[in-house]
Each structure stands twice: as C-alpha cells, then as structure tokens.
Amino acid sequence: MSDLQELIASVGALRRTLEGRGEKAPRTPPAAENSAEASASVDPSSAIFSRLSNVDPARWLARLRERLPFPVPADVSREVDAFGLDPPYLERARPLLDFLFDRWWRVHVSGLDRVPDSARMLLVANRSGILPYDGLMLAHAVERGHRAQRRPRLLAADKLMSGPFAQPMLRRLGAVRACRENAARLFDEGEWLSLFPEGGRGALKPYRQRYRLQRFECGEILSLALRRRAPIVPVAIVGGEEIHPVALRPEKLERLLGTALPLAPTLLLGPGALVPLPSQWRIRFGSPLEVGDLDPASAEDPLTANRLSERVRAAVGELLEDELERRDSVW
C-alpha cells in the first residue's frame, strides 16, 4: 500500500470513529475489549491518527477558542504599522501559536546558532502545505529561540494576501505581499524577512511529490538581498506537507474554473478537514550562504540572479534531504 493510500485509509478510519462518538456503545465483555485493543495496536490507521482519536472536529475550534483566547478578524486595534502589523493582535495570538508549536506539531528546531545577529536578513525555506502555517512556525521558532529575539516578517504570495479570509489575520500577524518594493522598504527599516520562493507550485503539489523542491520564483527578492548585503539563510521545514495532504488536482476542471482545486483525503472528515493534522515538525537552519564570488553591483544581471537562485535552492534542498533522513516518524 502506498503512503497516500495508507493516509486515505487512515482518514476514513478516523471519520468512522468520529461518526460513532455520539452513539452510546454497548458494554463489551473484557475479552472482547482486550481483543479490540490488540487489533487497534497493530492497525496502522489507528496508530497514525491516535492523536486525533479524542477530537470532535466540529467543536475543536470552539473549544480551542475557549481555552486559548486567540484573536479573530473582528478584533480591532489602533496600533498597526504601514503594512498592517498589529502588535496587540500578535500578542493575543501567542497562546495559540505556542500551542501549535509545542503541543500540536511538537516542533524540533536546530541550527539557530548558525543564524547571525544581523541588522537585516532573508530566511529562505521550502513551501509546506496549503495554508502558511510554515511561515508562522518559522517566525515563532526564530523569535523564541534566537538570541536576538527578532520576529521575521513573512513575504506571502499574492493569492494569500488578496484573499478575503486569510489576508486580514496574516497581515495583522506581520505578513506582507511578496514583492521587491515591500522587501526593499522592510530591509531599509532593518527587518528580518522570510521567503518561500516555491510559491503556489510548492503549496499545492500532490502528496506523492512531497518535499520535492519546485522551481524558485521571487528571484528579484533574492537579488535585492544580495545587493543590500543581507545574509541569506537557507531553512528546511519538514512536517508541513502532511497537515493538509493534497491527493490530486483535477487539471481540466481547474482550467475550466480558472482556479486551483486541491483535493485532500481529509475532506472525508467534513468540518474536521479544517483541523490541520498533528504531524511532527522539524525546522533546520543552515549557515548563511557564501556569496563572496557574486558581485552585489550586478545583482540584477539575469545570469547572476539565476546563479544565486540555484545556489539557494541547492542549499535548501540539502538541508531538506538531511532532515527527512533524520525524521523517525511523520506523527
């Protein structure tokens, strides 16, 4: 059975479990209980989703909201910067971010000691998952673990920053639209930035292509970092590809509708599809890229820009392969 088939079977098993949670089960004799427990212990579907066995997906967000008073778009504040960063809103979101980082995804971070304490910086990582949880967790890892306690500003794709649902929250958490003009202004202000140059190709690729780096976009931002002499730090993120796995993409229907339609096996959970799966994450920071042979004055030259992009992509890919080998379990 392939990984994707196993994942689909696991989601189906989870859905059947959740559908039966509201029904009062008859008393099972002890022998039968022991037999059922033994069967569950060897069932890979039960093993993969053991962390979700007590989750009612229809009430998960409501209960989380009660325990962690995270912000919603209706919350307002007058303390925002030119790009919409709302410090009180971010502070209110910290309990939720801490929960996701420490308890839900159990993020393991390594290599932060290699990240210099520079006035400005560009962190470049692989894209993981449909929603930008990867950017939020990357920023959280740096802010909590680095000696400078800086929070990188996420350079997010146009579709994320123009959508009616994610955009207000992302903007208030510090995200900005990924373009050269915004990056230049933030560099001038001495900000650290995070970039996911695979864009939509990386976010929406099928599960069978997980962790295969796509062609890098946003070359103008990489060139800008070179021109401004901002350290370029490669980062690998493992775990984000499993939280909303894409089973397939109906290309003909997508062309007809003019929009992406990623189909995930978690759709079998109904409202539970909104809950990201609790995969185990690993974030690995590499050393700043060696670019001494590249002339900052010629950063806009297509040949220089292409060499820089390929060098960054190779560095991220090397870290990614190493972290995949180190990972013991997806869950």
Distance CA 85, CA 195 (A): 17
- Domain made up of 67-243+278-326: CATH architecture: 3-Layer(aba) Sandwich (3.40)
Statement: residue 163 has pLDDT above 60: yes
The residue written with tokens 């864009």 in the block is 199
Statement: residue 40 has pLDDT above 60: no
pLDDT for 273: 65
Q: What integer best gives the mean pLDDT of the chain? A: 80
pLDDT for 57: 56
Q: What percent of the chain has pLDDT over 90?
A: 48
Residue 9, token pair as written in the block: 């079977």
Return the domain boundaries, the chain.
Answer: 3-54, 67-243+278-326
In which band, very low, low, confident or very high, does the pLDDT at 26 lie, cut at 50, 70 and 90? very low
Within the chain, strands assigned E span 108-110, 121-125, 153-156, 176-177, 192-195, 232-238, 282-285
Decide: helix, strand or coil at residue 143. helix
The distance from CA 17 to its chain's CA centroid, rounded to whole angstroms, is: 27
- Fill in the amino acid letter for 279: S
Distance CA 245, CA 242 (A): 5
Statement: residue 154 has pLDDT above 90: yes
pTM: 0.78
In which band, very low, low, confident or very high, does the pLDDT at 189 lie, cut at 50, 70 and 90? very high
Is the Cα torsion angle 62, 65, 70, 75 positive or negative in sign? positive
- Cβ atoms of 213 and 126 within 8 Å: the answer is yes
Give Cβ neighbours of residue 182 (< 8 Å, ≥ 6 apart): 83, 155, 176
pLDDT for 32: 39
**Which residues on neighbouring strands pair with residue 232, listed in sequence order?**
122
Lowest mean pLDDT among 49-53, 227-231, 286-290: 49-53
The residue written with tokens 């400078």 in the block is 148
For the segment 298-310, the average pLDDT, to the nearest whole number, is 92
For the segment 257-269, the average pLDDT, to the nearest whole number, is 65
For the segment 155-169, the average pLDDT, to the nearest whole number, is 82
pLDDT tens, 197-240?
A: 998 777 778 888 889 999 998 889 999 999 999 999 999 999 99
Q: Taking the CA of residue 151 as centre, how many other CA atoms within 13 Å lie in the half-sphere pointing to its CB?
A: 13
303 φ, ψ (degrees, to nearest 5): -65, -45
pLDDT tens, 98-111?
A: 999 999 999 999 99
- Order of strands, edge to edge, in the sheet holding 282-285? 108-110, 282-285, 232-238, 121-125, 192-195, 153-156, 176-177
Distances (CA, A) of 62 to 59, 280, 316: 5, 24, 37
Distance CA 134, CA 240 (A): 7
**Which residues on neighbouring strands pair with residue 235, listed in sequence order?**
125, 285
